[in-house]
Structure 1
Amino acid sequence: MKERDIVGYLPDDKPTLGKSIVFALQQFLVMLPATVLAAIIMNGFGLELYSIPAAILASGIATITFLLVTNFKIPLYYGSSFSYIGAVAIVVTYGVDNLASSSTVLGSVLIASVLSGLMSIGAGLLIRHFGKDKIDKILPGHITGMIAMIIGLVLSENVMNGILNTGPNGVDWLSVLVSMVTFLTIAIMTVILKKGFVSQIPILIGVLVGVVVSYMVWVPSLGGSWSFNNLSVYFDGIMNTQTVSMLDVMPWVTIPAAFQLPELIGVALIAIFPIAFATIPESAAHVNQIDLYVNNLSNQKDGKDYKIREMLDTNLIGDGIGDIVAVLSGGPAGTNYGENVSASAVTKNFSSYVFLITGILAIIVGLLLEVLNLGNLSLILTNPVVQGVSLYLFGAIAVQGIALMIEKKVDIFDSKVVAVMAFIGIVGLGVDSIPVTSSFVLPGIGVAALGGILLNIGLNLLDKKAKSKDQPKA
């Protein structure tokens, strides 16, 4: 098969500007619900912390920064992280109990997030110094693959609850209909569209179809009785939603406010700092996923090895700097988005140039939302549509974890491997966070990752000792 017959773009490919803008729009729409949702959730703990326009703006700035730090070799989007939600809830609760303002709480979260980002940078530098081969012994495929799986599956309950949208009258079957139409459109498009430009935008097609169906059947039902008059009520609600001003969440406002309650900074550090421990296996999982898919596409084209798997150090450094840039831009701390890895895997579009355009698009949208004061336009993507897309993408992330373990030839009959995978899977999926004290929480994924690493090291040492005893003496 000739190279021109292969649909897809590698990290150093540059589609035409027109195609790049469409691809960027698709990536932006994939990113938008989760990035905005993370900020919305953290605004629901008793204080309005985040500006939605600032969260979008920050994700764009952090994405461009990440691409520059990694020299455009790791094609990823940097969006708001869900890992910080439990920790932020603790900080907000403490702040509310002590009558702290939103600026004081957000400033404390910002300071702790910056230090967490510095730890990620330090981890990347350690890997760069000691080498990735030694790190691979600490982070083998059965650990990074399982981490990738639980990243995809950990929000599965939230997705299904969002799809069912159960209320006093039971399941919202119109919500289920819209979600499944969105999901099935994406799934069908990925199967039947094999060639050409349209084969690379199945998610965008699914979103558009889902939105149209939403406004035909779901939105009109929101008033209790089915009526198209509910459409105007819904859009009025979008336009009139009050949002936090972007200027109110900037560091020159929040950092001085944080020092009005210094003990809150300590609470934030204790709550947020442990999350940094989860960045290494999560980053390793993302790097290996991207390498797997990029080189699979490359093998169908020119056969170039992009060696992204060897860039864990660079990825961690970019991750830490991205965190720092995001919070200093007024947004939540972030992460390299698995949703976009899934979107890229589905569309075979790994062009760093497209991600650059996506970052620019996010900055423009964030600024426009702030200047025009149009309310929360993210609600145009109705909840059933968001959940339908999430059903596909979160599942795809989990499948990528399986693909990673297959590619790494993980021996699932090895008793050590089984024990480590069992621990990571059950702990990572079984608990969101573990409250140690009123001001200290351990994130479930972090405990699963760090515990899995330590368990793997311990079992390997025991295995070596057991084998050495069985060796016949000379």
Structure 2
Amino acid sequence: MAKQQRIVDVHERLPLGQSLPLSLQHLFAMFGATVLVPFLTGLNPSVALLTSGIGTLIYIILTKGKIPGYLGSSFAFIGPIIAVSKSQGVGAALFGCLLSGLVYVLVAVLVRYAGTRWIDRLLPPVVVGSIVIVIGLGLAGTAVDMASKDWGVASVALLIAIIASAFFRGFLGVIPILLGIIGGYVFALVQGLVDFAGVGSAAWFAAPAFTMPTVSWTAAIVIAPVALVTIAEHIGHLMVTENIVGRNLMKDPGLHRSMLGDGVATGIAALLGGPPSTTYGENIGVMAITRVYSVWVIGGAAVFAILFSFIGKFSALISSIPVPVMGGISLLLFGIIASAGLRMLVESGINYNHKRNLIISSVILVLGVGGAKIHIGDLQIEGMALATFAGILLNLVLPRGLNEEPVEVKSGSVLH
């Protein structure tokens, strides 16, 4: 009979020789997704690495060292950051990200004193699942545009990521994004599409290029509501982590502390010019595979991320990745985001024979994917922010009794 793998508990410290490679595994697991977000949004990859490391250490401290979670760049904010950056500049987008961190902090305070039932009332699965679909589909055009610059390179990166995700097991199965980027990069290099001029001229050690937020309440209206969606994701990740480590983390140290850590990390990231943070499923997967739950190992990965952010040539190497490589990876990633929303709807048992569910999802999807905009004075609300507001409002005002009225479907006709 095979010997059962030993569990390394949350507070346990391993010898340095064992801890360092385990920390590097976590660095590799989060790396591909974390640098993809700044690559797509025009933020600095080195700052994203720095803030992911700092944010993770803050998270560990604020959760009293009881939750082994790594914080990386959030994909949910990509679309709103791109939209605001094009119209008002990166600084305005960062202000919106700063306010999204404040939303997390406010929700953490409410959870501390009022519990979580109100979250379920405000953001039921029919709203959250539909918005997650909007996040993925809303980015589809960006992915296709990037990939279309060289479909050959994009296809290779996409194929490698698909193979790694579908067929690889163990740790390699957790890092399909990183493997796709590396494979696509090597193929582009063979094709002569990689420019190393920036790598050669970059200094070995260089401080990341920080960007400060600039006040924009329009950006705040567009970006801050996204935090309501990522809060639902945060709760899901914490529940999965609970199951893996075998501890009631919702109670000790508490959901409010976990949300507070994520919110403070997001706010500090925005102040330095980095993307909003979120707990990473990839790193949760690494813990499940290795059965090493030590916050010291997670903290070691955070320290590595901080150190890497000050290596100038490393940042230049990331910047040299051809756009079609990231485009190919994005085709898979953004589709997975949309599919995750569909899975949420299915697993929650949402019944679309009921009018209420059908109305809420329909309005969210059309407003979000269709790029609808409304103006309130000088403020413009559009895309996912508008879809989020509309979904929450409809969920609050539509009578629950509508779910008892089935939608009649006639062959060869539209729904009535």
| Aligned equivalents of 1:450, 1:9: Cα separation in 2 | 43
- Per the normalisation by structure 2, the TM-score is 0.77
| Aligned equivalents of 2:298, 2:31: Cα separation in 1 | 9
- Asked if the contact 1:147–1:285 (Cα under 8 Å) also holds between the matched residues in 2, the reply is no
- 1:364-407 Cα offsets, whole Å, 9 max, x none, are 122222xx6x7732224322222222222222222222222233
Please give the residue correspondences for 1:193-212 in structure 2 after superposition, counting only pairs within 5 Å: 193-194=168-169, 196-212=170-186
Aligned partner of 1:20 in structure 2 is 23
- Asked if the contact 1:434–1:441 (Cα under 8 Å) also holds between the matched residues in 2, the reply is yes
- Pick closer, same or farther for the CA change 1:118–1:22 going to 2, 3 Å: closer
- 1:283-314 Cα offsets, whole Å, 9 max, x none, are 213432x257557x74xxx8767659x96644
2:397 to 442, 458, 471: 458
Bigger Rg, which one: 1
Please give the residue correspondences for 1:6-85 in structure 2 after superposition, counting only pairs within 5 Å: 16-40=19-43, 53-70=46-63, 71=65, 73=67, 75-79=69-73, 81-82=77-78, 83-85=80-82
What SS is found at the alignment partner of 2:311?
Answer: helix
Letter of the aligned partner of 1:184 in structure 2? L
Aligned partner of 1:48 in structure 2 is none
Letter of the aligned partner of 1:59 in structure 2? S
Residue 134 of structure 2 corresponds to residue 150 of structure 1: yes
- Pick closer, same or farther for the CA change 1:383–1:348 going to 2, 3 Å: farther
Q: CA deviation at 1:64?
A: 2.5
What SS is found at the alignment partner of 1:376?
Answer: helix
- Pick closer, same or farther for the CA change 1:78–1:3 going to 2, 3 Å: farther
| Aligned equivalents of 1:149, 1:335: Cα separation in 2 | 20
| Aligned equivalents of 1:133, 1:437: Cα separation in 2 | 31
Aligned partner of 2:167 in structure 1 is 192
| Unpaired runs of at least 5, structure 1 | 41-50, 93-104, 166-174, 223-230, 259-264, 467-474
Q: CA deviation at 1:345?
A: 5.7
Aligned partner of 2:412 in structure 1 is none
- Asked if the contact 2:355–2:403 (Cα under 8 Å) also holds between the matched residues in 1, the reply is no
Q: CA deviation at 1:146?
A: 1.8
| Aligned equivalents of 1:303, 1:59: Cα separation in 2 | 26
Q: CA deviation at 1:428?
A: 1.8
Aligned partner of 2:337 in structure 1 is 397
Please give the residue correspondences for 1:262-411 in structure 2 after superposition, counting only pairs within 5 Å: 265=215, 268-273=216-221, 275-288=223-236, 290=237, 294=241, 298=244, 313-328=256-271, 330-336=272-278, 340-341=280-281, 353=295, 355-369=298-312, 376-411=316-351
| Unpaired runs of at least 5, structure 2 | 406-416
| Aligned equivalents of 1:178, 1:9: Cα separation in 2 | 41
- Asked if the contact 2:157–2:181 (Cα under 8 Å) also holds between the matched residues in 1, the reply is yes
RMSD, aligned CA: 4.0
Please give the residue correspondences for 1:212-251 in structure 2 after superposition, counting only pairs within 5 Å: 212-217=186-191, 220=192, 222=193, 234-240=195-201, 249=210
- 1:146-170 Cα offsets, whole Å, 9 max, x none, are 22222223211111111111xxxxx
| Aligned equivalents of 2:298, 2:159: Cα separation in 1 | 26
- Pick closer, same or farther for the CA change 1:177–1:317 going to 2, 3 Å: same
- Asked if the contact 1:72–1:352 (Cα under 8 Å) also holds between the matched residues in 2, the reply is no
Q: CA deviation at 1:414?
A: 1.6
- Asked if the contact 1:211–1:382 (Cα under 8 Å) also holds between the matched residues in 2, the reply is yes
Q: CA deviation at 1:34?
A: 1.2
| Aligned equivalents of 2:23, 2:355: Cα separation in 1 | 47
Aligned partner of 1:412 in structure 2 is 352
- Pick closer, same or farther for the CA change 1:152–1:84 going to 2, 3 Å: same
- Pick closer, same or farther for the CA change 1:306–1:128 going to 2, 3 Å: closer
Q: CA deviation at 1:32?
A: 0.8
- Pick closer, same or farther for the CA change 1:57–1:123 going to 2, 3 Å: same
Count of matched residue positions in the alignment of Structure 1 and Structure 2: 391
| Aligned equivalents of 1:388, 1:346: Cα separation in 2 | 24
| Aligned equivalents of 2:286, 2:148: Cα separation in 1 | 26
Please give the residue correspondences for 1:78-227 in structure 2 after superposition, counting only pairs within 5 Å: 78-79=72-73, 81-82=77-78, 83-92=80-89, 106=91, 114-165=98-149, 175-194=150-169, 196-217=170-191, 220=192, 222=193
- Asked if the contact 1:75–1:352 (Cα under 8 Å) also holds between the matched residues in 2, the reply is no
Q: CA deviation at 1:59?
A: 3.1
- 1:407-443 Cα offsets, whole Å, 9 max, x none, are 3222222210111111112212221x73627952324
| Aligned equivalents of 2:327, 2:394: Cα separation in 1 | 35
| Aligned equivalents of 1:53, 1:37: Cα separation in 2 | 14
- Asked if the contact 1:87–1:272 (Cα under 8 Å) also holds between the matched residues in 2, the reply is no
| Aligned equivalents of 1:381, 1:321: Cα separation in 2 | 31
Identity fraction in percent: 23
Letter of the aligned partner of 2:197 in structure 1? D
What SS is found at the alignment partner of 1:454?
Answer: helix
| Aligned equivalents of 1:10, 1:400: Cα separation in 2 | 30
What SS is found at the alignment partner of 1:73?
Answer: coil
